[in-house]
Amino acid sequence: MAGRWELTEEQWELVEPVLRPVRRADNRGRPWHDTRAVLHGVFWVLGTGAHWSELPAKYPPYQTCHRRFQQWVREGKLVEVLRLLARHLHERGKLNLDEAFVDATFASAKKGAWRSAQPGAAKAPRSSLSPLVTVFLSPYLSKALRLPSAALWKLFWSNASSTSCRQG
């Protein structure tokens, strides 16, 4: 079973041809880290919102993940991968781009709050969204791709009409 930020075998088979590294013609240079592991590291950063330097040790070095992320964004490969994954999730009923929920709730601590109180006592239950969906909804991804949120449908489905793309 794939971890929280990891692709299943079926999903990996969809995106692997897009991200397959191209070796230099003279076959020189260091061997590349596993592309799948790098992608999982990128998804971890995008999904958690953590800094690249906080990437857990189970992923390749954060410098490698960040460099490949930038390369994939420049070459348009990341958008293509996200389109493929969005379509895959949409076909299975796990992604609905017609609805989006934003929670802007802010609750400040009271001056007289007990320091010994349980920190997560009133914490709401976790969302049941797929971890990949949280990557798609990540503000860091939209910032990196520099696309307006109103064009989300057109990003994933270029043949979407303006009537099926809700303006917010």
Positive or negative torsion for Cα 153, 16, 73, 24: negative
Identify the CA nearest to 86 among candidates 39, 136, 126, 161. 136
Over residues 93-145, the pLDDT tens digits come to 887 766 666 666 666 666 665 555 555 555 555 555 566 666 666 665 655 55
Counting beta carbons within 10 angstroms of the beta carbon of residue 48, is it exposed (0 to 12), middle (13 to 18) or buried (19 or more)?
Answer: middle
Residue with tokens 């976790």, as numbered in its chain: 126
Provide the mean pLDDT of the chain: 75
CA distance 50 to 33: 21
For residue 44, the model assigns a pLDDT of 92
- The number of residues in the chain equals 168
CA–CA distances in Å: residue 88 to residues 82, 156, 159, 160, 166: 10, 11, 17, 17, 21
